Structure 1
């Protein structure tokens, strides 16, 4: 079996991957050690905000960086990095800093304090990049802006301006160093630091412009710099500053309500209300009949009235090649008008022709070097198309065009102001991924009756086999396990998903806040016989699976933090200043120790696929110290059955009750071990074992010492006598089950991977 596996994506699985995005790769790496590469799925069009966020302005700098102004909550803003307006001590005790620290959880403040403790305060004008905790971004950049008195002098303002310029440069330098694609910057120092708001906005915007236009800064510029604030006055000042510095951009007109904006690679698609004839873009698109009479139809007649009758004269005499006839704009505020002739919906191939008409308009605009184009809601009037069909087909065509277009273009869907139903249909089509269904992705898919209609736009890419996830693991077994887990989620048809993982009990306030923010699903937490579980249910299977993956990401993060804390504890308990290197060494399948175990496991319908020796000097040191403390000279050779995603963790931090809770903790809430393979299969019997392909065991030396019978609910061994400080070393559940309450009492020796379904009678 190869160490690479490909999972094709289509239908709902494609929607799920689109919604989860690249973080899915991090989950697979963290859970299984697999590298996941997502092919043919274009994430560049994903909106970087929530549905309630408002985009006020956008401009593209000569270097290709898009600068935009948003009214939004930074704590919920999905970008690569958010900037925190911090103080020199990184004490996040007020304003934006406190809001981000609360939303991101305790990691943000603890890492900040660690940084100051190890490196000293962060000076004014400087910035540092640290872990973002539970925030929906990869990094949080703590930037220290200047503090000013309430009535600053001219010299104080000039000095503060230089510091603010410096901190913006520091932020963008960190973006460059960390190779981030997007960063959200607030109005640093404008709040409790008393920097005058108007000057603050102007300084930040001009500093961004200077940095991006400096040739020394172009090694790695982000794709997007987003100026994000939550309060109206600050957003207004940022917008004014951008308009002063960058000029009025067609993509940045102020809106009183949130206008859907979707990024499809280099194409920015915006939905807006307004008369088509009043739009100020390079191209306006008109739909008309084969009679070439512009007085027929609402859109044609409106354009004719505004442009004058020279438009009609040129249109009548223009040569007809293909589906698009270009003319001048005359009195219209455009360079050209593209006239399309589409059939009624009930005519043959009407949907494909509508799709191709939009695609041809975009292609012709690109050929003629136009930078912006406005479309009406084609087909929703006399031609008889359903509003949703028109929205779906037009959106699909724009996405198809965007896949291979290398330039920059702004595309507008312009809906007549009073046509609320059509606007709503297009708004739903352009909504964030969690609120929309599948879209077709080819000319065939424009016809909803076509088998290709299940494929989505924006995903085909250059992979001829279609969208897929490629998994590369350290072994064929790991790759297969990761693929089985992922496929089981992506290809679900119905029902709730239950996550069984005792690290759910480690969720803190920030994690529970994240759970509350999950939309479209119901979350139920429970503990059954000492095993924590979380059930996710909802009307939409896609919503459920997306929520499950978000929970898995939270669990991976909690587990990483747990492992880091354990390693720090190891160093303290072992008296070390540095953790020695640990590794897993694969045991040769031809070796006697491998062959001996292989024969033994086959008696239990299992075949030994891989055997890894754990070499961890720290765990050995702590185990030896515990053995001396217990005066136990004869450890037992025992087994623990463990989930795949905890195998590597055991090799690093040893045994913990969270890793492998038994089916029934009848002898206490400790760490369970079995004396035989048969007993291990009983103690950790899996509810869905018939679907499992691989089983994982850890072979260990266990210091059971002075033991007694265990009982349900024990969190420590019972007292030996009347002195509560003198206790048994472990408890038992019969001759083949032992329970310890300190992970130092066991040393992992081998991690064993077995494949199910290979009885001894089938061996040589």
Structure 2
């Protein structure tokens, strides 16, 4: 279950966050797996960050043209956090960390689930390469999907050669987006000027590439397959909108529709929509069985036979016969039976029971059924629901009557509900009369509720509440997978923000991996009123930041932390590549929570309790690639046995050790008396002695239990970077490890140890 915590900002802490801004989100996500969002903070000092504080833009269509295969391409000035389409494209970076520009705006508006889904993708795939795209759910945004796409990234003043080399990558990015539209059978997608903002691709060329690629994609597509109805080129700033208009007029000037459609305006868009409170109602043409909403509504006869009507038959054929078996054995709640989706692309199916139009109270039953479906969807809670035109077939309801009944039920629900939801009326494409009846009703609702009125926007969910006009209290909202993760993130934030100091000390052995780019950044920080000192002592790399202004020092310290997160991600990617070469298994891992009542938990609990520690969480690490490499190492060393040993590590390395195994950078010992390798302790008590730093200050302590191949060992000594040669033999034949007695072993290859458990403890 996700945990939440608010970290208030005021005075110096607010000024620091204003300067450093959403870069904190990236650090907190990388170190603790938590999502940080900001309220009441105006990132004034960083132009690239302040772009996410965009004013609300009333949607304005500038141009429309019809492409091959009936696809309509249009240019809009609008806010992508509140536009109407099946999907929105996010201009993402390779690690899907949504920390600035449009990415941050979409992530903030959509809620923490967007970043969580992105993190899950990165855990499985390491990165999303330039030119590629992936699809996730849209969280609280008014879309079904987000397409995260990585365009080419250039320097602030790119050379002609760099731009020329990046152009085909931008084309590939756009084609990848359109591929995802086809794969997910989306009817519309909103695409911004990818790469033109924070990635510095020249805007005019960007517009030309996007328009030409979209045009060519559908000109060269085979006749078979899915084609969207609408491609929206959407930007909130006037320069981008004008460039898209120019590119369309230049590239598509042969299409006669362009000039004519320009004068029609946004009112003639083919997808009527209206916002009523927190409900966004959409009318669309489509097949109900192909919808990807959270809920699909079906209408079924009283005998529960799914072959009894056109809609239920279509759903059954796509879902499979398992749905018929489930509905036969499922309890009915009111006028609804809920089943799983089987092969449908939704989360649940609501089967409603409505009588023939001549039955007593038939209109009221239809209205109640729609209302009850909405109530149940909100209670679960679901974000979207799709209705067919219930009753217009075999139940013989009048089409205009059904449109009025269903629209009235949605309106009644919307005026009472505080739950944000997208409601779709999905009309079969060839049923023009029914679509026209619903379209007339939608126009009436648009007039009634003045859909274009910004006061009806459901961003806040509290229309008319004067308190919403007050600026929110500045704070960072933390959302994480557990209370422990949240507390660690809060403690780390407090160390920087609660009492800003004129000296910040950062100890992390990944400082040794800083390259030319990182040292250039450190040099720039040195010129801004702070001094940067790097030192390496007792196998520990440290950066000390000092200056007269505590705020400037903390901002510089946070920038160093951001550099470390980047270096560590690159390190993981490189090590994973090595693992792929050495193992036939997929490089993936799981951390499965161990039941506190199990024998393996209780066996370890008593040992830690004797040290004054309580195990609050124990996770079993499963990583088949690491296991395979470990077994190969065992054969290579000729070891028949392993030792169960312990290592104490900082919390932000728990994920890394589970993913790519052990490395000396994670946990240098308090005293490296036996060499410069990877240290392990024979007991948890000994681990407390080997790794002393932070023990008094930390609320939680983290231990890794591992299987270790010590093999033939000898006494270690300071400065060893490899085990010494065996005495009296070939100098190329080395010991397998060194030790500091029975309770300390040092290995020099991380593949000689396999993580078994991550054990999180709290002081009793």
TM-score, normalisation: structure 1 = 0.51
**Aligned Cα root-mean-square deviation (Å):** 4.9
> 1:354-384 CA deviation, whole Å, 9 max, x = no partner?
xxxxxxxxxxxxxxxxxxxxxxxxxxxxxxx
What residue in structure 2 maps to residue 468 of structure 1?
A: 475
Rate the CA distance shift 1:131–1:513 in 2: closer, same or farther, 3 A: farther
Checking the alignment, whether the CA contact within 8 Å between 1:42 and 1:461 is kept in structure 2 is no
- 641, 644, 654: which one pairs with 2:661? 654
Once the two structures are TM-superposed, the CA of residue 614 in structure 1 deviates from its matched residue by 0.3
Structure with greater Cα Rg = 1
> 1:632-672 CA deviation, whole Å, 9 max, x = no partner?
12211110000000001101111000111111111111000
Once the two structures are TM-superposed, the CA of residue 61 in structure 1 deviates from its matched residue by 10
What residue in structure 2 maps to residue 701 of structure 1?
A: 707
Once the two structures are TM-superposed, the CA of residue 492 in structure 1 deviates from its matched residue by 2.4
Once the two structures are TM-superposed, the CA of residue 221 in structure 1 deviates from its matched residue by 2.5
Rate the CA distance shift 1:181–1:25 in 2: closer, same or farther, 3 A: farther
> 1:160-206 CA deviation, whole Å, 9 max, x = no partner?
xxx99989998999996589696168796xxxxxxxxxxxx988789
Rate the CA distance shift 1:479–1:647 in 2: closer, same or farther, 3 A: same
Checking the alignment, whether the CA contact within 8 Å between 1:168 and 1:207 is kept in structure 2 is no
Distance 2:657 2:170 in 1: 48
Q: Does 1:719 align with 2:735?
A: no
Rate the CA distance shift 1:33–1:113 in 2: closer, same or farther, 3 A: closer
Any stretches of 5+ residues in structure 1 without a counterpart?
Answer: 51-59, 67-77, 83-109, 116-127, 148-162, 189-200, 228-237, 246-404, 408-459, 759-764
Once the two structures are TM-superposed, the CA of residue 468 in structure 1 deviates from its matched residue by 1.2
Rate the CA distance shift 1:595–1:718 in 2: closer, same or farther, 3 A: same
- 588, 604, 613: which one pairs with 1:597? 604
Rate the CA distance shift 1:625–1:80 in 2: closer, same or farther, 3 A: same
- 509, 522, 525: which one pairs with 1:515? 522
What residue in structure 2 maps to residue 413 of structure 1?
A: none
- 707, 716, 719: which one pairs with 1:710? 716
What residue in structure 1 maps to residue 48 of structure 2?
A: 48
Equivalences for residues 104-123 of structure 1 within 5 A: none
Checking the alignment, whether the CA contact within 8 Å between 1:4 and 1:473 is kept in structure 2 is yes
Once the two structures are TM-superposed, the CA of residue 689 in structure 1 deviates from its matched residue by 3.0
Once the two structures are TM-superposed, the CA of residue 493 in structure 1 deviates from its matched residue by 3.2
Once the two structures are TM-superposed, the CA of residue 551 in structure 1 deviates from its matched residue by 1.3
Checking the alignment, whether the CA contact within 8 Å between 1:41 and 1:461 is kept in structure 2 is no
Rate the CA distance shift 1:585–1:132 in 2: closer, same or farther, 3 A: farther
Distance 1:142 1:617 in 2: 41
Checking the alignment, whether the CA contact within 8 Å between 2:700 and 2:762 is kept in structure 1 is yes
What residue in structure 2 maps to residue 554 of structure 1?
A: 563
Rate the CA distance shift 1:222–1:31 in 2: closer, same or farther, 3 A: farther
Once the two structures are TM-superposed, the CA of residue 517 in structure 1 deviates from its matched residue by 2.2
Distance 2:129 2:166 in 1: 23
SS of the residue 2:673 aligns to: coil
What residue in structure 2 maps to residue 223 of structure 1?
A: 236
Rate the CA distance shift 1:559–1:179 in 2: closer, same or farther, 3 A: farther
Rate the CA distance shift 1:172–1:649 in 2: closer, same or farther, 3 A: closer
What residue in structure 1 maps to residue 26 of structure 2?
A: 26
Equivalences for residues 424-463 of structure 1 within 5 A: none
Checking the alignment, whether the CA contact within 8 Å between 2:587 and 2:625 is kept in structure 1 is yes
TM-score, normalisation: structure 2 = 0.51
Checking the alignment, whether the CA contact within 8 Å between 1:81 and 1:182 is kept in structure 2 is no
- 665, 687, 690: which one pairs with 2:696? 690
Q: Does 1:631 align with 2:645?
A: no
What residue in structure 2 maps to residue 485 of structure 1?
A: 492
Q: Does 1:752 align with 2:751?
A: no
Once the two structures are TM-superposed, the CA of residue 80 in structure 1 deviates from its matched residue by 4.7
Checking the alignment, whether the CA contact within 8 Å between 2:710 and 2:752 is kept in structure 1 is yes
- 197, 219, 234: which one pairs with 1:183? 197
SS of the residue 1:498 aligns to: strand
What residue in structure 2 maps to residue 618 of structure 1?
A: 625
SS of the residue 2:631 aligns to: helix
What residue in structure 2 maps to residue 730 of structure 1?
A: 737
Checking the alignment, whether the CA contact within 8 Å between 1:521 and 1:544 is kept in structure 2 is yes
Rate the CA distance shift 1:617–1:531 in 2: closer, same or farther, 3 A: same
What residue in structure 1 maps to residue 538 of structure 2?
A: 529
Checking the alignment, whether the CA contact within 8 Å between 2:39 and 2:475 is kept in structure 1 is yes
Q: Does 1:579 align with 2:586?
A: yes
What residue in structure 2 maps to residue 11 of structure 1?
A: 11
Rate the CA distance shift 1:166–1:489 in 2: closer, same or farther, 3 A: closer
What residue in structure 1 maps to residue 437 of structure 2?
A: none
Distance 2:166 2:156 in 1: 27
> 1:669-693 CA deviation, whole Å, 9 max, x = no partner?
100001122211111111x432210
Q: Does 1:538 align with 2:547?
A: yes
Q: How many corresponding residue pairs?
A: 446
Distance 1:510 1:562 in 2: 15
Checking the alignment, whether the CA contact within 8 Å between 1:168 and 1:204 is kept in structure 2 is no
Rate the CA distance shift 1:666–1:61 in 2: closer, same or farther, 3 A: farther
